Amino acid sequence: MRTNHHTTDNNKRINPMRLTHLACAIALGLASHTALATTAYVSNEKDDSISVIDLGSLEVTATLDVGMRPRGLLLSSDNKLLYICASDSDRVQVMDLATRTIIKELPSGADPEQFALHPNDRWLYISNEDDALVTVVDTQSDEVLGQIDVGVEPEGMAVSPDGKWAVNTSETTNMLHWIDTTTQQLVDNTLVDQRPRHVEFDKNGKRLWASAEIGGTVSVIDVASRQIEKVLTFQIKGVHPDKVQPVGVKLSDDGKYAFVALGPANHVAVVDAKSYEVLDYLLVGRRVWHLAFTPDQKRLLTTNGVSGDVSVIDVDTLKVSKSIKVGRYPWGVVVTP
Amino acid sequence: MQRINPSLMLCAAVLCSLALPCLATPAADVLQVRIAYLGYTPASGPLLSNVIPEPSDAGRRGAELAISDSNSTGHFLKHSYQLDVAEHTDGASLLTAARELHAQGVRLFVVNAPASSLRQLSQALPDSLLLNAGSADDSLRQRQCLNNVLHTLPSRAMLADALAQFLAVRKWTRWLLISGSTEDDQAYASALKRAAKRFGHRIVAEKTWSFDNDQRRSAQAEMPLFTQTTEYDVVLVADERGDFGEYLPYNTWYPRPVAGTQGLTPTAWHKTVETFGAAQLQKRFEALAGRWMNDRDFAAWMAVRSIAAAVTKLRATEPQAIRNLALTAELPLDGFKGRKLSFRPWNGELRQPIPLVQPRALVSTSPQDGFLHPHNEMDSLGYDQAEVSCDLTRGGQGTPYSP
């Protein structure tokens, strides 16, 4: 946090006016941390920081120092804790959002990149990119519950809404690895296209969407059979197919839309989540990575790595309404109410 | 040196313990994929500026890493990759070793050897698939394509074009070209001249470094006078061995940058390449080899990974089938370079972005924005279809090499 809580007072006398000012500053400070509008948190991979965006004013209101190379972000179910993959610090940091301080660090294994929290709000599934492992950590006891061997460069992580499955993607092995959360064992693998980056369950947990960055596709997988049901491809006028590299995927709760971040194609695809038809491509910043809805799902935020900004998409009109400058190489994004 | 190490890199039985479904499967169900790495790097002769030697295992370590990367998918699919290594100090011994491996049933080869040696191997092993990870020779990609060879190391033409595009963007169009006297240096200089013509540069003067200068002066002291010519924007140097080129930067007559084999260098791979997941590949390589990954390592890694991608798709190891699939658009390859990579069907050369580096930084990556191409911008680097007299897709139409 880069706010200065201390006033310098060389003559050591207590100045009533100054005390009042200080009290006001603290009160305001607390208010801005807790009571105000919807807030987005964006990890800046090359700045070792988190940008805090007030979604009322659409402005960056604070920049918080965190561990090295922060990438994946997620929230506890009560939105009080922010989990941060500090990849080059080899740990997951836990930030208390009320005070915006790191309250503890979890034993994540080496190079944590993405993670997912089990619906029980305790088990954190972390992909360890350098070690071809998924580490399961109990966020309350800080114990490592297990480490599961997966393919090379594990990246995307998702836990099904019913908590039965944890699914990991491995970027060089090109597979989805299905982990049974009751036994913490790998039980099945689904081969997808080259360089799978991200997995996202739909709200009822029947389907899993998996993006493949180099393959240029998104596979929709039937969770019951773990078979690929549909492979989506993307064509944007004026953009070479090689630059269409799907990364982040977000599904709207009403089952209407899937949004797919297309990386260096600098567009987000809008997909009809029922017919799988691509409805539109929205131009955002350069190398769009990850996405997050606001709690009312009326807006979608994108992190744009190369241009160092966040684009705001209005979901009703499917228009990009604003871009907000953040730190260097913004990567992950989450939003609290 | 006689060294053939058949080393089973990762045992399928051990790997099976990781994935429950194959626990009960007998080993006979495992698809064995044998790939041989053939290495021969001729000695470069006495060099003036040879302070930092090239690693002697360049290439092989890349192939080794790719085998372990490929076994990661392999063990889930019951495919087991194995690397045989043969490294020799002359072409004849390498040929003998290759024949022995062929007799043992190996049909997939990664070759890190000069063009002459590659041609011999291609002829001697007509039913095998060879991936060239060692020769940047342009004729192999233009007039004398070898029907059973794919190339993962970029040609000199690709490197020169990548550099020339960047110099065009910077508008450094007046070149002083300095080349060494070896055949390789002359080939590199030819590629630069071709690139100059393609991208609108002008070579204002051309000199060959023969070191017949005043012997009372060191090379460093000689360079300012040696580069005193008509004014130029940039000095291009063709010195593949690293004999004199290192002495050019900061010693030119005009205060101008140096590019080519020294200074700003186009290369297939470098430590400073880190985006698009490259940081992870670099880390894996450094953990394996204890040094930085270079262009030869990358080419050998890419060669094994290309074979593995095809085997994963085909669920078979026939060299002809792998070759034919590789020459279609149906085999997108991941090279950590931000684009999906593929082989050019006309000459079997891997399309790939080319990083332009200086020793501690990535300066740029070509193709540069704005250099358009009707089909694929990466084809603005190197020999495009219309300039190539062979066509590998029309079975054997590549002009076979006749010595």
Does the beta-carbon distance from B76 to A151 stay under 8 Å?
yes
Backbone torsions φ then ψ of A20, nearest 5 degrees: -60, -45
Residue of B nearest to A243 (CA): B339
Does the beta-carbon distance from A216 to B378 stay under 8 Å?
no
With tokens 């010195």, the residue in question is B239
Does the beta-carbon distance from B72 to A186 stay under 8 Å?
no
Distance between CA atoms of residues B59 and B291, nearest Å: 12
Q: Residue A148 contacts by C-beta under 8 Å, 6 or more apart in sequence?
A: A133, A134, A136, A168, A177, A179, A184, A185, A186
Distance between CA atoms of residues B347 and B362, nearest Å: 29
Question: Which candidate in B22, B71, B72, B350 is best for mutational testing of the A interface (most A CBs within 10 A)?
Answer: B72
Query: Given CB atoms, is B339 within the 8 Å cutoff of chain A?
Result: yes
Does the beta-carbon distance from A149 to B340 stay under 8 Å?
no
pLDDT, tens digit (0-9, with 9 covering 90-100), for B256-266: 999 999 999 99
- Highest-pLDDT range among B17-21, B33-37, B241-245, B382-386: B33-37
pLDDT at B77 over 90: no
The pLDDT, as a whole number, for residue A333 is 98
With tokens 């005070």, the residue in question is A99
Token duo for residue A82: 């922010």
Tell me the pairing of strands B129-132 and B149-151: parallel
Residue of B nearest to A263 (CA): B338
The pLDDT, as a whole number, for residue B5 is 46
Residues of chain A contacting B332 with CB distance shorter than 8 Å: 193-194, 214-216
The pLDDT, as a whole number, for residue B219 is 80
Residue spans per domain, chain A: 38-336
With tokens 């990364």, the residue in question is A247
Distance between CA atoms of residues B274 and B294, nearest Å: 13
Average pLDDT over residues B41-52: 78
Q: Which of residues 236-265 of B touch A (CB under 8 A)?
A: none
Does the beta-carbon distance from A187 to B332 stay under 8 Å?
no
Query: Which amino acid would we find at residue B345?
Result: P
Within a 13 Å sphere around the CA of B123, how many CA atoms are in the beta-carbon half?
Answer: 13
Mean of pLDDT over chain A: 90
Residues of chain A with pLDDT under 50: 1-14, 16, 19, 22-35
The pLDDT, as a whole number, for residue B228 is 96
Does the beta-carbon distance from B280 to A129 stay under 8 Å?
yes
Query: Given CB atoms, is A171 within the 8 Å cutoff of chain B?
Result: yes
Judge contact between B102 and B128, C-beta under 8 A.
Answer: yes
Does the beta-carbon distance from A170 to B18 stay under 8 Å?
no
Does the beta-carbon distance from B280 to A214 stay under 8 Å?
no
SS (H, E, C) chain A: CCCCCCCCCCCCCCCHHHHHHHHHHHHHHHHHHHCCCCEEEEEECCCCEEEEEECCCCEEEEEEECCCCEEEEEECCCCCEEEEEEHHHCEEEEEECCCCEEEEEECCCCCEEEEEECCCCCEEEEEECCCCEEEEEECCCCCEEEEEECCCCEEEEEECCCCCEEEEEECCCCEEEEEECCCCEEEEEEECCCCEEEEEECCCCCEEEEEECCCCEEEEEECCCCEEEEEEECCCCCCCHHHCCCCCEEECCCCCEEEEECECCCEEEEEECCCCCEEEEEECCCCEEEEEECCCCCEEEEEECCCCEEEEEECCCCEEEEEEECCCCEEEEEEEC
CATH class of A38-336: mainly beta
Displacement of CA B72 from its chain's centroid (Å): 24
Q: Where do the domains of chain B lie, and which CATH numbers do they carry?
A: 4-154+270-387 (3.40.50.2300), 158-266 (3.40.50.2300)
The pLDDT, as a whole number, for residue B10 is 39
Residue of B216, B270, B219, B268 whose CA lies nearest to B245: B219
Confidence of residue B339 (pLDDT cuts 50, 70, 90): confident
Distance between CA atoms of residues B57 and B3, nearest Å: 13
- ipTM > 0.90, yes or no: no
Confidence of residue B20 (pLDDT cuts 50, 70, 90): very low
Sheet containing B354-358, strands listed edge to edge, beginning at the edge strand earlier in sequence:
B265-266, B354-358, B361-366
Query: Given CB atoms, is B280 within the 8 Å cutoff of chain A?
Result: yes
The pLDDT, as a whole number, for residue B29 is 84
Query: Given CB atoms, is B377 within the 8 Å cutoff of chain A?
Result: yes
Query: What count of CB pairs under 8 Å joins A to B?
Result: 71
pLDDT, tens digit (0-9, with 9 covering 90-100), for A129-163: 888 899 999 999 999 999 999 988 999 999 999 99
Confidence of residue B16 (pLDDT cuts 50, 70, 90): very low
Quote the percentage of chain B above a pLDDT of 70.
89
A189: nearest CB among B19, B287, B309: B19
Q: Which residues pair with A259 in a beta bridge?
A: A250, A270
SS (H, E, C) chain B: CCCEEEECCCCHHHHHCCCHHHCCCCHHHCEEEEEEEEECCCCCCCCCCCCCCCCCCCCHHHHHHHHHHHHHHHHHHCEEEEEEEEECCCHHHHHHHHHHHHHCCCCEEEEECCHHHHHHHHHHCCCCEEEECCCCCCHHHHCCCCCCEEECCCCHHHHHHHHHHHHHHCCCCEEEEEECCCHHHHHHHHHHHHHHHHCCCEEEEEEECCCCCCCCCCHHHHHHHHCCCCCCCEEEEECCCCCCHHHCCCCCCCCCCEEECCCEEECCCCCCCCCCCHHHHHHHHHHHHCCCCCHHHHHHHHHHHHHHHHHHHHCCCCHHHHHHHHCCCCCCEECCCCCEEEECCCCCEEECCEEEEECCEEEEEECCCCCCCCCCHHHHCCCCHHHCCCCCCCCCCCCCCCC
Total-model pTM: 0.82
Q: How many CB atoms lie under 10 A from the CB of residue B131?
A: 31
Q: Which residue has the higher pLDDT, B339 or B189?
A: B189
Average pLDDT over residues B181-198: 97
Distance between CA atoms of residues B369 and A261, nearest Å: 22
